[in-house]
Amino acid sequence: AACQPPPGVDPGAVWLQVCLVVQTTDATRLQGVAEHAERLPNLDIRLIHNPRDDDRRGENINMGVRAATGRYVGFLDDDDVLE
């Protein structure tokens, strides 16, 4: 499903910033995420790479917060869906 802006927001405007922390040492996986992000032009997607294989959830959250410039911050894990 396409990501749609809220009512009253210009459909062509960038209306949501996503700080996407990708924790992987797999260059192919990182490239795939980057290519997918490019298909969402109405989102300000900031791709942050954490080149680690071990579980670094807290570090990933901190990296995302540092990259964020918006007023509000929310968190989704790799098995979550934003509707």
Q: Which residue has the higher pLDDT, 66 or 81?
A: 66
pTM equals 0.75
Residue 1's pLDDT band (boundaries 50, 70, 90)? very low
The answer to whether residues 24 and 51 touch, using CB atoms and an 8 Å cutoff, is yes
Please give the Cα distance from 59 to 61 (Å, whole number).
5
* Cβ burial, residue 67 (10 Å; 0-12/13-18/19+): middle
- Asked if residues 48 and 30 have their Cβ atoms less than 8 Å apart, the reply is no
Tell me the pLDDT tens digit for each residue of 27-60: 999 999 999 889 887 788 999 999 998 889 999 9
59 vs 1, residue with greater confidence? 59
Structure-token pair, residue 30: 């990182």
